[in-house]
Structure 1
């Protein structure tokens, strides 16, 4: 009998995940036999140099892309063989997303954007969900901005709306893809503190792809990818420790190439 993802204490996991692009001599192996889990209630940072496979891993874990081989679970659901429609419904109900570019709908106000997952699902929030949303709006400081459209909000406020939208359905997992990439340093720190609080105070499972050691320093765990493989799995690290590891890894790669 197979042990479930939940029994392993994981929100999501992949097993022997491989992803290749192209054929023949031009083939690129973006992921090479990766097996890893995102622990429930933890804030995990996924790091690595450009081309290491970190974004590909996140996209496959979130059901946005299909692997060449291997298996992927969200909770106890094996999503590997699901149809596009089944994946769309699963993402809408059980996965939250926070993107670098915010990805808010420009014609909707802040509350309309927060409620978008429910509208797409053809339903209204339950009383419990409404209370959760009200709590998110308050904790994110959005109360006076709910009737503003995205162009009337600062970058930091837009990302707060995106975080509220991602957390509104209490998803199994939130994927954050370079969430501070378009923000100034102060707004970036605020957004990272909010994600950290969602994990520590509310048990939200978060996986964040980033190249920024300061951002990764907010995480409980840091996964380092290199050449499509997980090359290190470390508990909380300071930004200085992360930067030193990244530099050493890149120097090591350069040394290997020139040797």
Structure 2
């Protein structure tokens, strides 16, 4: 009988995961027999040189891409062979996303963007949901901006809206792909502080792909990938320690 992800304290995991693109002489291996899990209530950073497979790993774990080989679970539910409709429904209900490009709907104001996940899922915004959204708006400093559209907000404010939207449905896990990549360093630190607070204060589970040692230093755990494999699984590190580890990986890759 399979061990359940919840028994292992994991919100998402993969076993013997491989991902290939192309065929024959043109086949490229993005992921090579990876078995790893994202721990509940923890901030995990995924790092590696360009082409190491870090974004592919996140996309497969989040149901945005499919495995060539191996198995994938969200909580105790295996999603390896789910169809597109089932994966879409699962992502809407159980996964939050924060992207570098914010991905806000330009024709909707802040409140419209925050309500969007509920509407896409075909369910209304309950009184409890409205209370949670209101608390997020206040906590993220957006109280005076709810009627503004994305183009009327700064980059940092747009990313705050994206974080609030990801948290609004209380997802099992939030996947963040270079969430500070389009922000200046000060605003980026503020956004990372918000993600960190979501973990510490709300017990949220976050997996973040990043190339930035400062961003990764906010994490409880750092996974290092190289050539499609996990080469190190570390606890909290300083930006300097992370930079040194990354330089070592890049030297080996060269």
TM-score tier (shorter):
over 0.9
| Matched residue count | 254
Moved over 3 A (4+): none
User: Cα deviations across residues 92-121 of structure 1 (Å, max 9, x unaligned)?
Assistant: 000000000000000000010011100101
The correspondence of residues 1-259 of structure 1 with structure 2, limited to 5 A, is: 1-254=1-254
Q: What is the CA-CA distance between 1:128 and the residue it aligns to?
A: 2.2
Unmatched runs of 5 consecutive residues or more in structure 2: none
Q: What is the CA-CA distance between 1:126 and the residue it aligns to?
A: 2.3
SS at match of 2:7: coil
Select between 154-163 and 133-142 the one with higher mean Cα deviation: 133-142
Distance in 2, matches of 1:106 and 1:252, equals 43
Report the aligned-residue RMSD: 0.8
User: Cα deviations across residues 22-68 of structure 1 (Å, max 9, x unaligned)?
Assistant: 11111100000000000000000000011000000000000000010
Distance in 1, matches of 2:202 and 2:135, equals 11
User: Cα deviations across residues 212-250 of structure 1 (Å, max 9, x unaligned)?
Assistant: 000000001000000000000000111110001111222
Distance in 2, matches of 1:126 and 1:71, equals 35
TM-score (norm 1): 0.97
Unmatched runs of 5 consecutive residues or more in structure 1: 255-259
Distance in 2, matches of 1:83 and 1:252, equals 38
